[in-house]
Structure 1
Amino acid sequence: MAKQQLEFKNSKFEIETYWLDPLGDYENEPKKPLAIICPGGAYKFIAGREAQPIALKFASEGIHAIVFDYPLISDERPVYPLVLQELATLLNWVKDQADMHNIDLDKVLLVGFSAGSHIVANFNTLMTNEKTRAKIFDEEIMVQPTANIIGYPVIDLTLGWPEEDWAMKISPDIFYWQAQEHLTQDSKPTFIWQTVTDQTVPVMNSFVYSQKMELLKIPYELHLFASGGHGSSLATYVTQEPGNEDNVNFANANWWELCINWLKVRNILPKN
């Protein structure tokens, strides 16, 4: 893992890179997919359980990973639209790294958890459409994600999380509140998972996003698990808070294998 500082105009932000080294056994090294991870944390902090453990899990599948240390709520400015501008800057930076790290630019994934999913969902709606992108980011985005993976996602800030005053700090412009409302035919396929007993982010968030994708005929896969709380990450002992039994759930942990299968169906990973 290495840290790298990037900049959008006068705003500096940090990423953590998990590059896979060349094997050195072949004359032509194969190109590898890349996952850009947006952990959760209620826009208050970057959740560690959804950062390095997820990056290493992708690495074990032959996928480069980057953890995006996105802007949080502060007294100086709201999160939006800066978070989308920084993510676009990151994607353009990725293009410059492609040859050095054998990145397959046709297989770039955005991965989000909880509040991080709100970033991914908004990027998938606003930044894949040229009309809305041009209003937010005045450069061309050289690398567009191929697909998205979102876990226990925040999609709509009016569906029970957060409180309205907190939503106003995330963005006083309600244009950024309801990601599902801006989905278009340009939006990318998405894998979604959540538990129906999530007491923090209502499961309706997953419903409204997948329903809109269904109406637009955008490919998606939705998995809802019968039990478990919010923020379980891998749902195994690897990401368990000591003493918190709710972080471990053998059924929910299957989301990872289901997700890998979906990536194979999408031809992002080989089927054999």
Structure 2
Amino acid sequence: MINHEFICGEPNFPVTVTLMQPAAIADFHNQPRRPLVILLPGGGYRFYSDRENEIVAFQYLAQGFTVAVVQYRLITAPPVLPTALIQLGMVVAEFHRHAADYGISSDHILLAGFSAGGHLAALYADLWPLLGWDCHVATTDLKIDALALAYPVIGLRLGWPTDEATRAAITANWPAHEADQLVTSQNPPTFIWTTADDETVPAVNTECYTAALRQNRVSVTSKIYPHGPHGLSLARAVTAFPREFDPTLGERFIRPDVAKWFTNEMAWLGELWHLDEFWLNQG
């Protein structure tokens, strides 16, 4: 695996990107163009959750994808918006403009966000056609081809955050922060999931975004699992809290029914992008 970190963007909006790429299979005698996942971990805009970071990236790497993890603006340097959107736009543009250098297919870009990272991802999926001026790039360089959201924050009016100080640190005077109200027909096909009894980011977030996508005739696959706490990540023991952390908490994060989300997402993406043909036609 190739793994390196670089700084992307302009001096006023620098953003750190960790790029991970599987090594080419020597028997094939070629260097394939890989689909790209731009990954936004959650963490309430306060930190980047390790449970939704490298360990999730490894799942995509095992499918042959290149993964770029983006360290977007946090509320430790408020406000988050619109800076985080501009940072993300410059990352997307970097991969569009230098796709050959990175060995990626620039028309196979998946933006994947968890929790608060899902909020930023959803906003970007709504607003990318309008960000060219702010990012100083052509609008075509900002396009993403698919969106995947896991227990995302969608509207800051929909249950998270619960305090005005956090809301202000995210938005300041930036008005475009209710992602379900900003959907247009230019949104990319979307895969979204959550749990019905998520205690931190209520399922109404996913319901509202799904409804907005359908109203705008955007293809969406939505799944609300019956049970599971917020922040399930892979919903397997490897991403559950150990007993040393809390004697009983970990078991709640092992949900075999929810753990199918990644397989389901890959099946959705495989159909959307005809991935069997994509890989067979490499060379």
Question: After superposition, what is the alpha-carbon deviation per residue over 1:76-114, rounded to whole angstroms, capped at 9, x for unaligned?
Answer: 530001101111111122134422332111100000000
Q: Equivalents in 2 of 1:97, 1:137: separation in Å?
A: 16
* Residues 1-272 of structure 1: pairs in structure 2 closer than 5 A: 1-74=3-76, 76-127=77-128, 129=129, 132-134=130-132, 136-141=134-139, 142-163=141-162, 164-173=164-173, 175-243=175-243, 244-267=250-273, 269-270=275-276
Question: After superposition, what is the alpha-carbon deviation per residue over 1:227-269, rounded to whole angstroms, capped at 9, x for unaligned?
Answer: 1000010001121121222221111101111101101120252
**Partner letter of residue 26 of structure 1?**
F
Which stretch of the first structure deviates more once superposed, 223-232 or 160-169?
160-169
Q: Secondary structure at the match of 1:188?
A: coil
Q: Equivalents in 2 of 1:219, 1:261: separation in Å?
A: 15
Q: Equivalents in 1 of 2:29, 2:264: separation in Å?
A: 33
Change beyond 3 A, Cα 1:268–1:232:
farther
Structure 1 runs not aligned, ≥5 long:
none
Q: Equivalents in 2 of 1:136, 1:181: separation in Å?
A: 21
Q: Secondary structure at the match of 2:14?
A: strand
CA contact under 8 A between 2:53 and 2:69: conserved in structure 1?
yes
**Partner letter of residue 158 of structure 2?**
L
Which stretch of the first structure deviates more once superposed, 106-115 or 157-166?
157-166
What's the % identity of the aligned pairs?
29
Question: 1:134: how far off?
Answer: 4.4
Change beyond 3 A, Cα 1:242–1:169:
same
Question: 1:22: how far off?
Answer: 2.2
Question: 1:166: how far off?
Answer: 1.1
Structure 2 runs not aligned, ≥5 long:
244-249
Question: 1:205: how far off?
Answer: 0.3
Q: Equivalents in 1 of 2:42, 2:182: separation in Å?
A: 22
Question: 1:32: how far off?
Answer: 1.2
Change beyond 3 A, Cα 1:143–1:176:
closer
Q: Equivalents in 1 of 2:174, 2:208: separation in Å?
A: 17
Q: Equivalents in 2 of 1:134, 1:98: separation in Å?
A: 19
Q: Secondary structure at the match of 1:93?
A: helix
Question: After superposition, what is the alpha-carbon deviation per residue over 1:51-77, rounded to whole angstroms, capped at 9, x for unaligned?
Answer: 001111000011110111111003x53
Which stretch of the first structure deviates more once superposed, 196-205 or 240-249?
240-249
Q: Equivalents in 2 of 1:101, 1:139: separation in Å?
A: 19
**Partner letter of residue 257 of structure 1?**
T
Question: 1:196: how far off?
Answer: 0.2
Q: Equivalents in 2 of 1:101, 1:9: separation in Å?
A: 22
Q: Considering only aligned residues, what root-mean-square deviation do their CA atoms show, in Å? A: 1.7
Q: Secondary structure at the match of 2:79?
A: coil
CA contact under 8 A between 2:13 and 2:86: conserved in structure 1?
no
Change beyond 3 A, Cα 1:57–1:8:
same
**Partner letter of residue 18 of structure 1?**
M
CA contact under 8 A between 1:81 and 1:136: conserved in structure 2?
no
Question: After superposition, what is the alpha-carbon deviation per residue over 1:112-139, rounded to whole angstroms, capped at 9, x for unaligned?
Answer: 0000000100001111x2xx32464332
